[in-house]
Amino acid sequence: MLLHRHVLLQRVSARLRPTRRGAYEHALAPAADRLGSVPRRIDRLGPDAVVVSAPARPCLVAVVGPTATGKSTLAVELALRIGGEVVSCDSTALYRGFDIGTDKPSPAARCGVPHHLIDVAEPTARYSAARYAREAADAVRRVTAAGRVPVLAGGTGLYYRALTRGLCPAPARDDRLRARLGRVAARRGVESLHRWVARVDPDSALRVQPHDEKRLVRALEVYLLTGRTLTAHFAETRSALEDYDVLPFALRLPAEEIARRVARRVERQFERGVLDEVRRALAAGVPEDAHPFGGLVYRQVLEHLQGVRDQ
């Protein structure tokens, strides 16, 4: 949804109106009528007492979009406006010691708004989307229980989908089985895997291109390990927040504007000392293949330190 900042603030604020009892209505319109009026019910408690209430479903406001579109700033503005707390949805902001290259919001930029899932893992830890979904759902529920509004902010699409839609409950990868299937593809061609998938899981065969070996192997791997199709596993996918209404706002900017902002951000990161940040991490024993180093800026810094990149 593309909205001007002030319009977005007004519309989200309108969803969370104080009732005559002083509580907040954490409910949204049905998905088909996101911008319509909130369904309401009038309870008469007496001749002069009328309380306007909404369906008892909590809400999660989500500010998502590409890098450098202003998600973090807008999330803080929203939280200040509606009495909320920010839940980060950034796969690199999770890690301690990686602040500059991730453009992690500073304490001053947070304006006193509590932030969750920032600096919660060591840089050597393996932090999966499944773990994020569990811990983010816990954070969202804690914020709601405290009478506040959770505001999700970030651009890691996999983490957002894991939290709001759930992850497929399929088994983990089996390297030996994958190697066997790879040999089959080498001998008989990738198309043979597609024909096999078409026999055992027709729906997956329709979704996957005949030459997409990686996805074909995954479909067969799940079937051979469990005796059930990948399609059946997808059907069991459940969100950790099924009882929540999610109100997503996707920020969009022209590509040239994003490129300009990213270039300026990288300049500021080098001015702030991202080179020294990487040197400190390496000196502390963080390996070069650690997850936080996968970010574009950190990869470029590593290449510079290795002599691969001049600047």
Residue 1 pLDDT > 80: no
In this predicted structure, which of 20-29, 59-68, 101-110 has the lowest mean pLDDT?
Answer: 20-29
Residue pLDDT, tens place only, 72-93: 999 999 999 999 999 999 999 9
Arithmetic mean of pLDDT, 168-180: 91
> What pLDDT sits at residue 98?
94
> What pLDDT sits at residue 47?
42
Arithmetic mean of pLDDT, 45-53: 39
Residue 56 pLDDT > 80: no
Query: Mean pLDDT in the chain?
Result: 84
The residue that leads in pLDDT, 35 or 54, is 54
- Chain position carrying tokens 């509580």: 23
- Chain position carrying tokens 């990487």: 278
CA distance 216 to 210: 8
Residue 49 pLDDT > 70: no
Residue (of 87, 35, 94, 36) closest to 61 by Cα position = 87
Arithmetic mean of pLDDT, 94-120: 94
SS3 42: strand
Domain 175-235 has CATH 3.40.50.2000: no
Is 175-235 in the same CATH topology as 5-39+54-166+239-250?
Answer: no
> What pLDDT sits at residue 120?
96
- The class of domain 5-39+54-166+239-250 in CATH terms is alpha beta
> pLDDT band at 13, cuts 50/70/90?
low
> What pLDDT sits at residue 296?
82
Amino acid at 145: A
Residue (of 173, 171, 169) closest to 239 by Cα position = 169
Q: Which two tokens stand for residue 260?
A: 């300009």
CA distance 176 to 97: 37
Residue 202 pLDDT > 90: yes
Residue 55 pLDDT > 90: no
CA distance 248 to 149: 14
Residue pLDDT, tens place only, 273-295: 999 999 999 999 999 989 899 88
Structural domain spans, the chain: 5-39+54-166+239-250, 175-235, 255-305
> What pLDDT sits at residue 6?
61
Phi, psi of 231 (to 5 degrees): -60, -40
The string of DSSP codes covering 74-101 is HHHHHHHHHTEEEEE--TTTTBTT--TT
Q: What percent of the chain has pLDDT over 90?
A: 63
Residue 17 pLDDT > 60: no
Beta strands in 135-294 (DSSP E): 149-154, 245-250
Residue 172 pLDDT > 50: yes
Arithmetic mean of pLDDT, 221-233: 95
In this predicted structure, which of 8-17, 75-84, 242-251, 296-305 has the lowest mean pLDDT?
Answer: 8-17
End-to-end distance of the chain based on CA atoms, in angstroms? 38
> What pLDDT sits at residue 63?
94
Question: Whole-model pTM above 0.85?
Answer: no
> What pLDDT sits at residue 257?
94
151 Rama sector, left if φ>0, alpha if ψ -120 to 50, beta otherwise: beta
